[in-house]
């Protein structure tokens, strides 16, 4: 009997984190994106926005609307989103391709205006400065060993909020860290960890 929360075999026989087998969308995201390093201000801004939209919802809901989000928010290019007007805001509130949450839409625009004032690479540097030392993190063997927040995600949340960012709580910050490879929370036996090429 397989212990609860451990890596499970998929249709191809490869072991994966259990959530990565829930749907084909999750499998593709798990295998090719989640936990792999993401750099670049716009790329990290996109992930931060999507994680904020996910708050209170299933990640699958966001994943299946990701192209809609990208189209609606100018590819999450910070400089362009920062120039959004009231007309853009009303357009977003009427867009069925995204999650039409007024507070979250306002947060994306407000956060873009803040980030647009920073120098190139500043958002990237801020986010990655909170990556923990991998040597100090035990590799999780079960999903029960994967935290929801950490001291580093709490510190990242505080750093973003201090600069005026919204919808960047410690849980959202940790989800960002997981998604963008600041931490590797693939389970010990997961193929995404065991088959990953050496850097």
Active site residue 29: yes
Q: How far is CA 104 from CA 3, 78, 117, in A?
A: 39, 16, 20
Give the active site residue among 51, 128, 152, 174: 51
Crossing angle of helices 86-93 and 102-115, rounded to 10°: 140
What is the per-residue burial (b if ≥16 Cβ within 10 Å, else e) of 3-23?
eebbbbeeeeebbbbbbbbee
The question of whether 34 is a catalytic residue gets the answer no
Which position among 29, 34, 128, 174 bears the catalytic label?
Answer: 29
At residue 7, the 3 state secondary structure works out as coil
Catalytic residue among 26, 34, 46, 59: 59
Residues 6+ apart with CB under 8 A from 3: 142
Q: Are the CB atoms for 65 and 98 separated by under 8 Å?
A: yes
Q: How far apart are CA 32 and CA 50, in angstroms?
A: 17
Q: Annotated active-site positions, please?
A: 29, 51, 59
């Amino acid at each position: 009997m397989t212990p609860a929360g451990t890596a499970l075999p998929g249709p191809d026989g490869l072991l994966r984190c259990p959530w990565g087998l829930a749907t084909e969308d999750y499998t593709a995201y798990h295998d090719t994106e989640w936990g792999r390093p993401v750099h670049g201000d716009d790329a990290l801004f996109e992930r931060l926005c999507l994680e904020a939209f996910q708050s209170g919802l299933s990640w699958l809901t966001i994943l299946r609307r990701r192209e809609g989000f990208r189209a609606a928010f100018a590819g999450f290019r910070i400089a362009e989103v920062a120039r959004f007007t009231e007309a853009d805001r009303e357009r977003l509130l009427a867009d069925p391709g995204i999650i039409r949450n007024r507070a979250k839409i306002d947060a994306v625009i407000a956060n873009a205006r803040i980030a647009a004032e920073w120098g190139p690479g500043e958002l990237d540097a801020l986010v990655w400065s909170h990556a923990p030392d991998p040597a100090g993190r035990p590799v999780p063997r079960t999903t029960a060993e994967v935290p929801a927040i950490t001291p580093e995600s709490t510190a990242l949340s505080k750093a973003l909020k201090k600069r005026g960012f919204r919808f960047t709580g410690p849980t959202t910050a940790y989800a960002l860290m997981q998604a963008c490879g600041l931490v590797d929370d693939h389970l010990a036996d997961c193929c995404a960890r065991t088959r990953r090429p050496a850097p």
